[in-house]
Structure 1
Amino acid sequence: MNKTLKSILSLVLCVCFVLALSACGKQNNDTTANNTDTNVSNNNVTDDNTDDSADITPEESTAGDSNILVAYFSWSGNTQQVANWISDKTGGELFRIIPEVEYTEDDVFDRAQDELNNGTRPPLSSHIDQEVMEQYDVIFVGFPIWWYDLPMPVWSFLEEYDLSGKTIIPFFTHNGSSSGASSISTVAELCPDSTVLTDDYFTYSGNNVDEAESAVDEWLTELGYNN
């Protein structure tokens, strides 16, 4: 009887030990995931989320009847979604700002910071002919907030063209920098001969961008650009 009891107790202790190891393993995995999320969030590039980056197709620049251009940089698709709504509602022509060497999930955080710190203007793969650019009176410029400022491809775009006399209207997605941090003042500095609407920009959380269409409607109506 004692021998049987000892066997049962040993079996129970083994089962408890295995369950304890399993619980510890799960706790360690959860802690690692939470730490990873925190580290990524602190890099300030998640203002435009990093999902579905490979599914974005660039638009070609074409001359048309509209005097409105909707130019945007988007890595994840959040800013692109807002750009599409603005184009649909204003009749503006879309142009995606694309660096020759596109960002990847492996390099985007460090590369974005290094480019900003070093003032690197990455060359772009798509361009607008100057005579086409001249037809636009209003340019909506869209971007995510990266490292509290414009992504450097947007610097490249704004410095490439003579935008004198044009109205520049910023819009951006973010993950906490709802005021745009330094980005709006940067746009104004890069376009000194343009009218930059520094107080009338559009801002929306990238995490909830699917819900932003009505906010875009209201914003464009207030500006007088909603068809």
Structure 2
Amino acid sequence: MKRLILSMAAMIIVAAMQAKTLVACYSYTNNVERIVTALRSQTAVDVIKIEPAEKGLDYAANNYALGTQLLNAIRSNPNDASSYPATDPVKVNMNEYDMIVIATPLWWSQMAAPFQTFLFHYGPQMAGKNIGVIVSSASSGISGVVADAKRLIPGGNFVEPNLWIRSSQTSDAASMISSWLEDIHYNDLTTGISSMTTENGFGITASHGFLSASGEFGTLSLYNLSGNKVVDATECPVSTSALVPGIYIAEASNGNRSVKLKISIGGR
């Protein structure tokens, strides 16, 4: 075991915080809005609503002719920002959130075009975060929407199962959401860990790309928010530069005692 005594004057970038959830949603027929309202009644979340910049458009007219046109433009050149329809600006600091729930309608087996615009701009900022997917549709399966989400959030940690609420089931959204939150172990994903304690004689520090522990520890471990161990070390410091930016759980232990701390890695 290695004992490290760390100066309290050192520049520390540890963030001991309560986990927060953001719900980002777009609602065309108000079904998604009802679903999000039901979600907010069961757990504390922040919500941002995506709105098209051009108002009053009927995406469903003529058998979704306009909606199909927008989807085809994205499909033909998905890496070009000009392929995506303009939406109203939103202000959101993704660094504040551990989990993002995206709630969107399905258009012709794909994610609604305005919501794709939002994810095109903000999806890369969701790397390392837990991503929950809620989709509203009349009948079609949601695999295409999930594929769009994974394309637009390439570094996201997608939790399963996804939640598919058909239009005819919207009135049952509350009970379906309750079951879904249990299925994805939402409380485990979002339970905050208190700030560093000294009761067990340990301390944990993340600073300048390295993870260290103080006290007579045996192992220093780091877990992502899915519970997967990504670091298992017996000596410090440990470089974290190769890890995906995000929120992690650090644990210092000697077999009989341990301390845990939620930390932020990657300049958050």
Q: TM-score, normalised by structure 1?
A: 0.64
CA distance in structure 1 between the aligned counterparts of 2:153 and 2:129, rounded to whole angstroms: 9
Match of 1:117 in 2: 72
**Aligned partner of residue 155 in structure 1, secondary structure:** helix
Q: TM-score, normalised by structure 2?
A: 0.55
Match of 1:204 in 2: 165
2:100 matched to 1:139?
A: yes
Distance 1:218 1:106, change over 3 A: closer
Please point out which of 42, 45, 52 is paired with 1:99.
52
Opposite residue 132 of structure 2, the aligned amino acid is I
Alignment of 1:67-216 (within 5 A): 67-105=20-58, 109-119=64-74, 120-129=83-92, 132-161=93-122, 162-177=125-140, 179-197=141-159, 199-216=160-177
**Identity between Structure 1 and Structure 2 (%):** 21
Report which of the two has the higher share of strand: 2
Contact 1:66/1:92 (<8 A) preserved: no
Distance 1:125 1:185, change over 3 A: same
Distance 1:142 1:176, change over 3 A: same
Tell me how large the CA RMSD over aligned residues is: 2.0
- Superposed CA deviations along residues 117-171 of structure 1, whole A, max 9, x for unmatched, are 1113112213124xx2210110100111101100111111112121111111110
Contact 1:90/1:225 (<8 A) preserved: no
Opposite residue 194 of structure 1, the aligned amino acid is G
CA distance in structure 2 between the aligned counterparts of 1:142 and 1:100, rounded to whole angstroms: 19
Structure 1: runs of 5 or more not aligned: 1-64
Contact 1:85/1:216 (<8 A) preserved: yes
Distance 1:80 1:66, change over 3 A: farther
Report which of the two has the higher share of helix: 1
How many residue pairs were aligned? Answer: 159
Distance 1:91 1:196, change over 3 A: same
- Displacement after TM superposition at 1:99 (Å): 1.2
**Aligned partner of residue 179 in structure 2, secondary structure:** helix
Contact 1:100/1:125 (<8 A) preserved: yes
